[in-house]
Amino acid sequence: MPRIVKTALIVLGCVLAVYGTLRFIPYPELETYRQRSYGFAALDRSGRVLRVFPAADGVKREWSALEAIPPAALRVFIRAEDRRFYLHPGIDPAAVVAAGLRNLRSGRTVSGASTITMQLARLITPHGQGLGGKLREAFDALRLEARLSKKQILELWINGIPFGSNIEGLPAITRARFGRELSLLDDSRAALLAVIPRRPGLYDPAHNPQAAISAALALSQRCGLKLDEAALLEAAAETAPDIFADAKNPFHAPHFTERIAQIARAQRPLGPTFTTLDLDLQSYAEKRLATELSLLENNRVSNGAILAIENSSGAVRVYVGSASWFDEEISGKIDGVRVENQPGSCLKPFLYALALEKGFSPGDVLPDIPTVFGGSEAYSPANFNRRFNGPVRFRVALASSLNIPAVHLLERLGVRLFEDFLANLGFESIARNRGSNGVGLALGNAEVSLEELARAFAVFPRGGRALELRFIEDQTMEQNTEARQIMSPYSAWIITDILSDRASRFIGFGPAPVLATDFPSMFKTGTANQFQQIWALGATARFTVGVWMGNFSGETIIGATGSSIPARIASDMLKALEQSTGQEGAAFFSAPGNTREIEICALSGMAAGPACTGTAREWLLPERLPDTCTWHRQPDSEPVYPPEYQAWLAERFRRGQTAPAAASGSAYIRLPVSGSVFYLDPGLPPEAQAIRIETAGFSPGALVYANDTLQGGLSQAGVFILPLRRGVYRLLVEDENGSGMTEIEVR
């Protein structure tokens, strides 16, 4: 074998041995550096910056893939620092010789020979000055070149260059100085930034623009960049702190972006994070809330929250956590979307949905008459308008948000069953406190969050399918199309139809112009006890909106402020959301194909008969079609009500009569409920205190006994007023139709 070949093989072997040694000896500092934290920009769905978060160590440091950096800007940095970057193995011998000659001529160090790879090595493993430090830097540079491609080296370096002012990397300094994304960086601005690392205190254009421009011009001449001084002057002017301040330090949707930070940091994002938020809609929502609150200053309403969801995907389009993040007096940093408060009547749609699932129909009749629920802890709800409407159809009871029918439903279904249903809908607050609620749950006396309410409300326009909220855009993410079915499509559609039925809500709300949108929509409002919280939920086929207003301190609202105010915001938000789609008109709620439309009696809810004086249309399942009405028996005759409506009819002189007990079941005492405990009021004279005994099915004059002592007879309405005295009482009512007994205690 010729000697030259042997020599070449020996040299090649030595090179490979050195390469293998450099490539495979441990370099833990490199892995630590590659795993370090980066901040990120949270963008709205269109790419507008909402907020920029620093890295975990507090440094303003963002990541950008090399492909996202304009080639011209990248060329400026390479020419400024290492023109032969792609030609050397990490150390540039020509630069070392040239720097040595210059330093010898000057008698001092006037220039170095650090390559980009050596600078990266120094960032990975900082070292001291002197020959030892330089040798370590050179060795690490060779190790980097043996392990990484030129592209990887350049990418790590460009994202980690120290610029001073607690800023690292080209993406972060571009935003901090020019308020723009890195993809928009041009040559002039790149040159102004490229000179900063050499002397950050002197060449930062935000602090010393003239020195930065001079240094950039010198760089241009040295590297042949052909930069224009006028362009540099214009670019430097943009770095002034008060120019494009909002773009340099964006701070939109703070409560939303706080959640994004929690999600994104767990995922360790590299680069900007596209969120689901729509900044235009977010700004509109914030202004609408501020406008309404400014009109309520004298009513002690200081705060509010708004959440808007796209039903098909669960994407959060609007997220307003409070009236103002910066207002400490109203605890503005608290997130009203997640705070738990009593929702009032906003839980009723879910109760009625459960009733439909358990066999009720929208034409069924529910009692809206004075009723006491429970025993020793008696509960006697009243309607918002302080009226009792007698028999009301299921549809009307929900649409008008009547209280007594709702509690009646819950008592029949069972509190635990309703708790389980709410937990299955995603109410974690209810699941946490399962077993601690009473029948007051029907009227919203448990605490839930706006997020839970809005997410669950969206199940109705989604045909009964569960919904998971999305905060970050991801085109590969499940779009909630295969979500589990929580309720039947029929139950979901009937609730949407009831809550969009303007005629049925008239009893409770009158014409309610706020809810009368010019597109298909459904609404539910709620007011907590003592007016501490006012709520509104609204939805179209495409969007769901939830609004809460009140005070985090729990102060009651002054005056008669009601839920029409948040309802007005919800209505306006739905209109803006629908307009944002660019589609003509809002989509309609679609009825399931197995529903039957029939004519029913408007009073009894049964199939309309020839004697019925008023009818309505209802949509029922084939297996739940009702019998023909028995309340209207002859044309022009009085309707015949069930016995429990005896007092309601007689006391208001209403037209009608009740069926005798023999025809409708045994007579009984409606009030008081057996086991009830009553208390004498020491502030009132004894003769002014009494117990109302109300019956059903007994004839007028039926005898009333207390502990076997005759007290008197029932009135025409089936009512008897018993004087209140301390003791335990066994009350008995009897006549030819039967007897009824209940036991109470007076303390």
User: For the domain 644-746, what is the CATH code?
Assistant: 2.60.40.10
Do residues 541 and 587 touch, judged by C-beta distance below 8 A?
Answer: yes
Label residue 421 exposed, middle or buried (CB < 10 Å: 0-12, 13-18, 19+): buried
* Burial bucket for residue 273 (CB in 10 Å: 0-12, 13-18, 19+): buried
Query: What pLDDT is attached to residue 684?
Result: 65
Strands 738-746 and 677-678: parallel
| Domain positions in the chain | 1-35+79-150, 308-580, 596-637, 644-746
pLDDT in the model for residue 12: 54
Closest of 622, 617, 308 to residue 470, by C-alpha: 308
Classify domain 308-580 by CATH number.
3.40.710.10
* Helices 71-81/150-158 angle, 10° precision: 90
Alpha carbon distance 606, 432 (integer Å): 40
Residue 382: predicted pLDDT:
58
Given this chain, do its domains 308-580 and 644-746 carry the same CATH topology? no
- pLDDT attached to residue 657: 73
Amino acid 652: pLDDT: 63
Q: What Rg, from alpha-carbon coordinates, does the chain have?
A: 38
Q: How confident is the model at residue 102, as a pLDDT?
A: 61
pLDDT of residue 499: 95
Q: Which residues contact 472 (CB under 8 A, 6 or more apart)?
A: 260, 263, 264, 273, 274, 275, 276
3-state helix, strand, coil in the chain (%, to 5): 40, 20, 40
Whose tokens are 């007096």? That residue is: 329
Grouped pLDDT means (10 residues each) for the chain, 747 residues: 61 56 81 92 94 93 93 93 90 70 54 82 84 83 92 96 95 93 92 94 94 93 88 92 88 96 79 94 97 86 95 97 93 95 94 96 91 56 69 94 90 91 96 89 92 98 96 66 87 96 80 82 86 89 96 71 84 95 77 91 94 94 93 88 82 67 65 77 70 82 86 82 85 84 84
